[in-house]
Structure 1
Amino acid sequence: MRVLRWDEGRVRAGGRELVEPGARLWIDAGPDPETLAFLGETFGFHPLALEDCAHEDQRPKYEPFPGSLFCVVHRVIPSADESEVLSHELHAFLTADALVTVHAVPIAEVDKVFARCAGEPALLERGPDFALYLVHDAVTDVHFALVDALTEEVEALADLTSEPDGGAMDEDVLPRIVAARRAHGHLRRRLAPQREVFAALARPGQPFVRDGTAVYFRDVVDHAVRLAEEVDTGRDLLASTMEAYLSRTNNRLSALTARLTLVATIFLPLNFVAGFFGMNLQIIPPRVAAPLVLVLVAATPLALWAIFRRKRWL
């Protein structure tokens, strides 16, 4: 647990010993049972909200309780090998004089805002609701880089699948499309509902969010909407890319099947010639039989090839 305490124009940083009434606080802690019990006893947070902090896999949400409000947002990051995206939950309690953030793993944006508030007393002087805005704004804006990178990947896949016939089709195109669809689905599940959380915080008349701070949350709502729209656009482009890939694959398969069929068609008369004269070669004079069979075997494929080329089947 780490604590920032704003008192009489200056900020003190420390631990649990600073958690006392009479000043504005920002408490950043992990979801261990001892810490959650301490927070519940000190601030009277609702047991259901504390239970959500203890058990992750919560959807983004905003829940007002008597004496506090509780919200959950997600920080989405790529995995170490960039094969998938992962999400870390950030739980926040807001009261009239305190902001309590709870998360199981370190979140870089929270660390940066915490350090900034420790060095700039004027930020905490504006209230714990403004500190919550700074955290949500930082966590939201950092997702633009991730979404932009996924958009570039989708555009690259779209360009690859739209190449003219004969262009190189990498063997990993389909896995890349599937991975991108999975990433976009995860982003939509985690980021789209956060618009509702920020919109609730941006509504005027909130008991713990001053109207002056609610204006700032409106900017966060705008960023969240832009992220959701870009994710939706990427999903639509991915669907079109998948259709184009499957269509191109089917066309190539059809063309290959047609060529194999034409090859079989060319050799079909040869099988007939070999079978017929193999059974009836004695009815033709020997001097004529062998040259006749050789001419038929040589001329028939050439004639069929010329006919297929003329009809543009080859």
Structure 2
Amino acid sequence: MINSTLNELKKLNKLNPIKYVPVSVSRKRPKTGLAPGSLIYTGQVYTDEIKIQVIDYTDDHIEEIEITEVAELERFNNPDTVTWINIQGLHDVEVISSIGKLMGLHPLTMEDILDTNQRPKVEEFEDHLYISMKMINHLEDHNKIDIEQVSIIAHNNFVICFQEKPGDVFNDIRTRLRNGKGRARKRGADYLSYMLIDVIIDFYYETLDQVWNKIERLDDLVVRRPDRIELNDIQVIRRDLIQLRRYMYPVRDVVHSISNSQGQFFSDQTLMFVRDSYDHAVQVVENLDTYREILNSVMDLYLSQLSNKMNEVMKVLTVMSSIFIPLTFIAGIYGMNFEHMPELGWAISYPVGFWSLIGVVAVIMVIFMKSRKWL
């Protein structure tokens, strides 16, 4: 349907390329009209294959493997160990559906996992807790912000992470689990869920730091060299902050809901750490608001600088016009074709009379403007 519409638009454009103005083609939401629990992948990231990485550990044991068959996950459903299942790739709905059925996930949970355009949230089911967050990372090589949805399934003895594509911010957690130092392997699956949430929020700080560095550079250039920046430079950062606000604000509510839970999936000891993550989420939101206000001030200052520059140009043009208006008047008088003018018979009327008058009037105009502090 969309392709046929685009073809018609192209034909109209060829018939009347000047007057025809193309219109945007509306896209229908893939899930519109479907029953609740319908599994449809709404994202745009398609990997070569879905990778399933498993880390199964206890206090004195750790096993890290990558499996190729979904049925192999059944042997890791062991209450005596903690299992972290990390799934990279969501485009194959059949594979994701089979994982959900094997692990006993609710159909609405599976629907939310495949819907990558939703707002971050937390939902509590009978035997698991569903947490949806946005994993945000600033890619310095490409100078852009990478945003990816992460769905976390918190169970009593296992944690499942669903990611859209390979690569994440969890390498430090994997290192801590492999080293076996600290409390990472001494706690249960709830502490693993906390670590995942906490490291995602930590990378919010790093992303905002990169954005702040850009705002600082713009602020310095606006004051010293406003001619070296354009309004689009400010608008790009403004759009980034709006997008970050859309995904970071709900995380504060998500962590707050977890910190106030009754302890079914998170123990009291772990909830103390979750409350610390909530403080971090609040700081992130406050920093985000502060950066938005500063960026608005930078934009106002930039527009003010442009206005001042324009005023200076208009001031110079106005002064020049004010000086030359009476001179043009005098030149117009002497340019009239009259036979009887008193100065015409005077031999030195042009070099002395005309140019002296011009000079005297120009000097008087300059002195007058300086007395008014217009120059």
Q: TM-score, normalised by structure 2?
A: 0.76
Please point out which of 66, 71, 75 is paired with 2:135.
75
Structure 2: 5+ residue runs without aligned partners? 1-51
Q: Determine whether 1:6 maps to 2:67.
A: no
Matches within 5 A, 1:23-62: 23=79, 24-30=82-88, 31=90, 32-62=92-122
Aligned AA for 1:43?
M
Q: Does 1:19 align with 2:74?
A: yes
Cα distance in 1, alignment partners of residues 339 and 216 from structure 2: 65
Deviates more, 1:120-129 or 1:270-279: 120-129
The one-letter amino acid of 1:98's match is F
Contact kept? 2:127, 2:155, Cα under 8 Å: yes
How far did 1:187 drift?
1.5
Which amino acid counterpart does residue 364 of structure 2 have in structure 1? A
Structure 1 position 185, deviation (Å): 1.4
Given candidates 267, 270, 281, the residue that maps to 2:324 is 267
Which of 160, 171, 175 is residue 228 of structure 2 equivalent to? 171
Amino acid at match of 1:3: V
Preserved contact between residue 3 and residue 19 of structure 1 (Cα < 8 Å): no
Q: Whole-Å Cα distance in 2 between the matches of residues 276 and 79 of structure 1?
A: 71
| Cα deviation, residue 45, structure 1 | 1.1
1:230 matched to 2:287: yes
Question: Is the aligned partner of 1:284 residue 2:342?
Answer: yes
Trace 1:167-246 onto structure 2 (pairs within 5 A): 167-246=224-303
SS of alignment partner, residue 152 of structure 2: strand
Question: Which residue in the other structure is 2:207 paired with?
Answer: 146
Give the drift of 1:11: 2.1
Deviation at 1:256, TM superposition (A): 1.3
Q: Could you report, residue by residue, the CA deviation over 1:266-289 in whole angstroms, capped at 9, with x for unpaired residues?
A: 111111111112114731142164
Instruction: Give the percent of matched residue pairs that are identical in Structure 1 and Structure 2.
Output: 26
Q: Name the CA distance, whole Å, in 2 between partners of 1:62 and 1:259.
A: 62
Q: Does the CA-based 8 Å contact 2:59-2:180 persist in structure 1? A: no
Aligned counterpart, 1:301? 362
Please tell me whether residue 120 in structure 1 is matched to residue 171 in structure 2: no
Letter in 1 for 2:236: A
Q: Does 1:103 align with 2:163?
A: yes
Q: RMSD in angstroms over aligned alpha carbons?
A: 2.3
Deviates most, 244-253 or 28-37: 28-37
2:146, 2:63 → 1: CA distance?
34
Q: Does 1:90 align with 2:146?
A: no
Q: CA–CA distance in 2 between the matches of 1:8 and 1:77? A: 31
Matching residue's letter, 2:334: F
Distance in 2 (alpha carbons) for counterparts of 1:12 and 1:105 = 23
| 3-state DSSP of counterpart to 2:117 | coil
Are residues 91 and 60 of structure 1, via their aligned partners in 2, closer, same or farther at CA, if it must alter by over 3 Å?
A: same
In the TM superposition, residue 244 of structure 1 has moved relative to its aligned partner by 1.5
Q: CA deviation at 1:58?
A: 2.3
Q: Secondary structure at the match of 1:262?
A: helix
CA–CA distance in structure 1, aligned partners of residues 59 and 195 of structure 2: 22
Counterpart CA distance in 2 for 1:155 and 1:118 is 39
* CA distance 1:83–1:276, change in 2 (3 Å): farther
CA contact (8 A) 1:84 1:183 kept: no
Q: Using the alignment, how far apart are the partners of 1:156 and 1:22 within structure 2?
A: 53
> How far off is 1:292 after superposition?
1.5
Counterparts of 2:339 and 2:318, CA distance in 1: 29
Structure ranking higher on relative contact order (CA contacts 8 Å, 6+ apart): 1
- For residue 263 of structure 1, give the secondary structure of its aligned residue in structure 2: helix
Deviates most, 223-232 or 180-189: 180-189
Query: Whole-Å Cα distance in 2 between the matches of residues 171 and 149 of structure 1?
Result: 21
Please give the per-residue CA displacement for 1:201-255, whole angstroms capped at 9, x wherever unaligned: 2124132111111111111111111111111001011111111211221122122
d(CA) in 2 for partners of 1:140, 1:311: 60
- Where 2:118 maps in the other structure, the secondary structure is coil
Q: Which residue of 1 aligns with 2:22?
A: none
TM-score w.r.t. the length of structure 1 is 0.90
1:260, CA displacement in angstroms?
Answer: 0.4
Please tell me whether residue 250 in structure 1 is matched to residue 307 in structure 2. Answer: yes
